[in-house]
Structure 1
């Protein structure tokens, strides 16, 4: 297990290095640079001012030299400043990532539990399968932004039970999380229900399941003690991919509910040509994604002894 962990960590480090170079190159190829944006915003800046600012920020140096300088600062923990927000990058990323992880993590746990429960119902009760399929189809056909707006109209505007959006920084309690968490959870519910149904239906036909039933095990014990741990392997991988993807921020949900998360931050950084913030945020999202996948792989090996030998 230690050898596998060290190997995966080395792969993560190499992937981040390649990704950082590619992202730096792509952003460098974008039309315009921060100095041109500054000139457009302040016509009083002269060509001499622009040249002095480019030299100050190292934008007049060759591409390779600029990348190595930026990567060296990053390895030393110096993330630099955001030109768009006039704040240290670290002070922006921390609150945004915590906000997104709180929202996405809670939603994914609820979606995973509810989806697996629906899948178990469909796999163990064939009569319930059409109902679960109908719920999954309806869920997949429902746009996230539409569901969010519908929940706001129903529970915030009409009933007045919950706030329509915002975050804890606005002085709200945990009730501000209910609607965005419900929106994200419902958006991911169908995938888990379908995969859980297919995986459990396959597992329940295995010979060792029939052996467990022949020994007198109850259906609930067969389902949750014997079948589910083996059927959970593909579901864990999907959950890890979802967690990594949502670490980048659920932009639509965060926009509908006015939440300052990673999705909004990344969008603002790219649109505002804030190179430093966009690069560091992108690498952070990639790191969280790969760590989530690594955690899923380790959990799979813990659940399936056959994988420990590989």
Structure 2
């Protein structure tokens, strides 16, 4: 297990270096730079002013030298400033990541409980399988933006029970939960469909295995057969799907964050790219990639804990 973790951490480090270099190259080859945009935005600036600023910020140096200087600064913990927000980059990144991780953790937890619970119920009771399939098809085919708008109309506009969007300004758990309820429900309903269908298929396959018949012949209670024998083996593919969803939602919850006006990594990456804030965009992309790779590492470790035969 330790060899697996050490090897994967080395792979993560190498991947981040390659990804940062390729992204830096792509951004460097784009026409124009932030100083050209500043010249267009402020008529008072002269070409001489822009040239002095270009030398001051090192933009007159070759692309590879700028990348090495940026990488060395990041390794020292110096992330620079965000041109778009006029703040230190770390002061923009960490709150956005925290907001996304809270939203992601709540949504995936709810989706897992609902999806896996319904999937196991449908596998154990075949009469419930058609209803579970219908729910999965409906949830998987519903666009998240459309579902979010419907929830806003129902619970915020019509009933007035929950806020339509934003974040809680008051301290405390209850205000935070009220603002989280609708975006969490949107992501949980859409993502629970995949967990339902995979858990249903995996449990149906496991319940026909010889060791399940043996456990039943020994007179074990049905709940023990299902949750202690069949479910750990059926949970292995679900763990993989959860890790992939976690990585995708870190940077891919843009639609949900936009509908509910929540600050997060999805909106931050979009705004920084559209605002030509290259330093912030690159660091946000690398942070999202790091969380994605750590989630897959956690999934590999969990799979080996569930099934030691996988080795590692």
Identify whether the pair has TM-score above 0.5, normalized to the shorter chain: yes
Partner of 1:79: 79
Partner of 2:52: 52
Moved more, 44-53 or 235-244: 44-53
Partner of 1:69: 69
Deviations 1:4-61 (Å, cap 9, x if unpaired)?
Answer: 1111111110011101101111111222210111111112211111111111111111
Root mean square deviation, CA, Å: 1.1
- 1:195 is the counterpart of 2:218: no
Distance 2:193 2:4 in 1: 33
Distance 1:186 1:30 in 2: 39
- 1:206 is the counterpart of 2:209: yes
Distance 1:61 1:245 in 2: 36
Partner of 1:156: 156
Match of 2:258 among 255, 258, 273: 255
Partner of 1:5: 5
Q: State the 1:196 CA deviation.
A: 0.5
Partner of 1:286: 289
Partner of 1:225: 228
Distance 1:33 1:164 in 2: 38
Kindly report which structure 2 residues correspond to 1:130-209, keeping only aligned pairs within 5 A, or say none. 130-169=130-169, 172-209=175-212
Distance 2:239 2:92 in 1: 31
SS in 2 for 1:269: helix
**Contact between 1:249 and 1:261, CA under 8 Å: does it hold in 2?**
no
**Contact between 1:247 and 1:288, CA under 8 Å: does it hold in 2?**
yes
The unaligned stretches of length 5 or more in structure 2 are: none
TM-score normalised by structure 2 residue count:
0.97
| Count of residues paired in the alignment | 309
**Contact between 1:251 and 1:264, CA under 8 Å: does it hold in 2?**
yes
Distance 1:140 1:302 in 2: 30
Give runs of ≥4 in structure 1 deviating > 3 Å: 169-173
Distance 2:260 2:170 in 1: 13
Distance 1:51 1:170 in 2: 46
Partner of 1:238: 241
Deviations 1:123-164 (Å, cap 9, x if unpaired)?
Answer: 111111110110011111111011111111101111111111
Q: State the 1:174 CA deviation.
A: 2.1
Question: Structure 1's 18 and 169: CA in aligned 2 closer, same or farther, altered over 3 A?
Answer: farther
Partner of 1:19: 19
Q: State the 1:217 CA deviation.
A: 1.7
**Contact between 1:241 and 1:289, CA under 8 Å: does it hold in 2?**
yes
Q: State the 1:204 CA deviation.
A: 1.1
Q: State the 1:173 CA deviation.
A: 3.5
Distance 1:193 1:96 in 2: 30
Partner of 1:112: 112
SS in 2 for 1:173: helix
Partner of 1:303: 306
Distance 1:57 1:142 in 2: 47
Question: Structure 1's 147 and 19: CA in aligned 2 closer, same or farther, altered over 3 A?
Answer: same
Moved more, 168-177 or 272-281: 168-177
Partner of 1:266: 269
Q: State the 1:170 CA deviation.
A: 6.6
